[in-house]
Amino acid sequence: MSVVILDFGSQYTRLIARRIRELHAYSVILPGRATVEQISRHDPQAVILSGGPASVLQPGAPHPDERLFDLNLPILGICYGMQYLVQRFGGRVIPTGTREYGRAVLTRHAGALFAGMDETEPQVWMSHSDAVVELPPEWRVTAETEDNPIAAVESPDGQLFGMQFHPEVVHTPQGKVILENFLRISGVPLDWTPERTLERLIAKVRERTDGGKKRVLLAVSGGVDSSTLALLLTRAGIEHTAVFVDHGLLRLNEREEVEQALLPLGVNLVTVDASERFISALAGITDPEEKRKVIGSEFIGVFREEARKRGPFHLLAQGTLYPDVIESAGSEGSASIKSHHNVGGLPDDIGFDLLEPFRYLFKDEVRRLAALLGLPDELGQRHPFPGPGLAIRIIGEATPERLRILREADALFISALKEWGLYKQTWQALAVLTPVRSVGVVGDERRYGYILALRAVTSVDGMTADWARLPHDFLDFVASRITRRIPEIGRVVYDITSKPPATIEWE
């Protein structure tokens, strides 16, 4: 059973899904206009209508399939979702002429959704420009603020709920209490735990492989997603070959770390050394998109060769995560952010059916599965690393010499973060080798060295990120260590740009 979240373009929709899962209930995000048939495939026990940038007063404003209400499911409307419910059942919504955005305080709250909340006036987060001014027949107000006399509503049968504020954001401190009450009212089972998730995934992959009879090909990158998937296939008793392509663009000692972590755990791992092939193909290329295309093309070539050599295979396993699916699909009223196709952009005609057991999981959920499956922390807790590797952390041509310099600098930065106890406090940390050189002095001699940029960010899922406030003493320590041990680097700078407007990677 699940909670289906219908997305009408809110910037907070993913947070709703995360909060529901944090309460140990399974949630899935579907487009706002999803059909009842699409909704029913997920065995819904309750539905949440998200907020969104549209107004219910606009012609053609998005709304769910009308047949949704024939399912007799508990429904919670948030912001736009509340306004839609009110209008749909005969109430009235008007434009306010101004946008209410920011903190507010509930001066009154009552009813099942607010059970267990502190009696003091709780803070909530508003973000809307329309307001409900008249309720549908027999509906009642369950919360109000000083400026908003209808901040939450409830239908007479106790099945439909609406709130003008956002319970999913951290600025509504007791929002999880409200969401937990909704789950309790709806009878949603609170069994979305790592242990139960692992049981379901093992059953799923055994079903997709006809009890393990179909052979599976998996590309291992060394990251937590593909490594955990390799262990899942092993635990499920699935005949598989995990191919790890060393393209010469890896971090220091990464190949050895992957092999030492996975081979003892029973993963059928095959390492292919294609470093000369990739580095030769990148010679003279400076444009970042061209680098990605070349690396993707070479990877496809290597992977196809290995598939022919070691096949036949029936399924291609990928570590696709839920954020990849959401970003690729976009949402109601919002553009698709980017397309994802894991395994270096493998084409559709590679000849296998896809097996993507993690496509409805978030990164932190995969990390918990990794711990259950015994993946060492060196891989299970490691920071994300791009498929094109260090090639896109070198501005300009990725030559063997520049790769060596960056590989050493990156290792010094990461090891220092671990020494100072800062590694797990950051979502991702990296070093970028710029083509710019600057004058320095070493002893009594002039030195003309590269400028190296360090970047570290904090995040939940990588969609947005804030630059990490690393201690000044640490930055001084790591800059001194890098310039002292790598003579080709003459200056170290620290990137303090958040995402947005920047991306986490530089290229």
> Could you tell me if residue 259 is inside a domain?
yes
Question: Quick check: is 507 in a domain?
Answer: no
User: In the predicted model, is pLDDT for residue 170 greater than 90?
Assistant: no
pTM for the predicted model, two decimal places: 0.74
Catalytic residue among 109, 166, 247, 314: 166
Whether 42 sits among the annotated catalytic residues: the reply is no
Q: Give pLDDT tens digits for 114-155.
A: 999 877 778 998 877 788 999 999 999 999 998 889 999 999
pLDDT band, residue 176 (cuts 50/70/90): very high
- C-alpha dist (Å) from residue 461 to 360, 363, 418: 14, 7, 21
Q: End of a domain among 130, 154, 186?
A: 186
Out of 78-87, 238-247, 325-334, 487-496, which region has the weakest mean confidence (pLDDT)? Answer: 325-334
Nearest CA to 479 out of 412, 384, 423 is that of 412
Q: What is the pLDDT of residue 212?
A: 85
Of 309, 252, 245, the C-alpha closest to 277 is 245
Query: What pLDDT score does 87 carry?
Result: 95
DSSP 165: B
Residue 465 DSSP symbol: B
Q: Between the CA of residue 350 and those of 238, 269, 298, 353, 465, what are the distances in Å?
A: 21, 21, 14, 9, 35
> Cα-Cα-Cα-Cα dihedral of 192, 198, 199, 202, to 10°?
140
Is residue 386 in a domain? no
- Residue 485 has a pLDDT of 96
Considering the domain architecture, whether residues 311 and 454 belong to the same structural domain is answered as no
Q: What is the mean pLDDT of residues 187-195?
A: 92
Is position 304 within any domain?
Answer: yes
Residues 241 and 143 in one domain: no
Residue 9 has pLDDT above 50, yes or no: yes
Same domain, 370 and 403: no
Q: Which residue has the tokens 């803070």?
A: 123
Whether 7 and 79 map to the same domain: the answer is yes
When pLDDT is averaged across residues 291-299 and rounded to a whole number, the result is 90
Residues 475 and 450 in one domain: yes
**pLDDT value of position 333:** 43
CA 93, CA 505: separation in Å to the nearest integer?
Answer: 43
Between 295 and 335, the more confident residue is 295
**Does residue 238 have a pLDDT over 60?**
yes
| Confidence at 202, pLDDT banded by 50, 70, 90 | very high
When divided into structural domains, the chain yields a total of 3
Tell whether 233 and 369 lie within a shared domain.
yes
User: Residue 223 above 90 pLDDT?
Assistant: no
How many Å apart are CA 379 and CA 259, to the nearest integer?
11
Last residue of a domain, one of 186, 212, 227: 186
Q: Encode pLDDT of 62-104 as tens digits.
A: 999 999 999 999 999 999 999 999 999 999 999 876 666 778 8
| pLDDT one-digit tens code per residue, 329-367 | 544 444 333 333 443 445 556 667 889 999 888 888 899
pLDDT at res. 219: 86
- Mean per-residue pLDDT, 450-474: 91
Indicate whether 503 belongs to any domain.
no
CATH of the domain at 43: 3.40.50.880
The two structure tokens encoding residue 482: 């890098």
Q: Clarify whether residues 161 and 42 are in a common domain.
A: yes
Range of the domain at 490: 399-494
Determine, yes or no, domain membership for 393. Answer: no
Q: How far is CA 14 from CA 17, 170, 359, in A?
A: 5, 13, 14
In this structure, what CATH number is given to the domain that contains residue 203? 3.40.50.620
Please tell me which residue in 63, 79, 314, 356 is annotated as part of the active site. Answer: 79
Look at the block and give the residue holding tokens 């696709």.
Answer: 320
Lowest-confidence region among 35-44, 184-193, 325-334? 325-334
Q: Do residue 332 and residue 198 come from a single domain?
A: yes
Of the ranges 257-266, 324-333, 410-419, 437-446, which is most confident?
A: 410-419
* Least confident window among 89-103, 107-121, 160-174, 177-191: 89-103
- 79 catalytic per annotation: yes
What tokens appear for 444 in the block?
Answer: 């009594």
Higher pLDDT, 422 or 196: 422
Both 404 and 339 in one domain: the answer is no
Q: Is residue 504 a contact partner of residue 457, using CB atoms and an 8 Å limit?
A: yes
Residue 419 annotated in active site: no
Considering the domain architecture, whether residues 176 and 210 belong to the same structural domain is answered as no
Q: Which residue in the list 109, 144, 154, 168 is annotated as catalytic?
A: 168
Share of the chain above pLDDT 90, in %: 66
Tell me how far apart the alpha carbons of residues 431 and 435 are, in angstroms, rounded to a whole number: 13
Residue 80 lies in a domain: yes
Residue 504 domain-assigned?
Answer: no
Residues near 240 by beta carbon (within 8 Å), at least 6 away in sequence? 215, 216, 217, 218, 230, 233, 234, 268, 317
Same domain assignment for residues 317 and 432: no
CATH code of residue 448: 3.30.300.10
Compute the mean pLDDT over every residue in the chain, rounded to the nearest whole number.
89
Query: What is the model's pLDDT at position 80?
Result: 94
**160 and 212 together in one domain:** no
Higher pLDDT residue, 299 or 478?
478
Radius of gyration (Cα) for the chain, nearest Å?
26
Tokens of residue 195, six digits: 């242990």
Query: Which of 121, 151, 186 is the last residue in one of the domains?
Result: 186
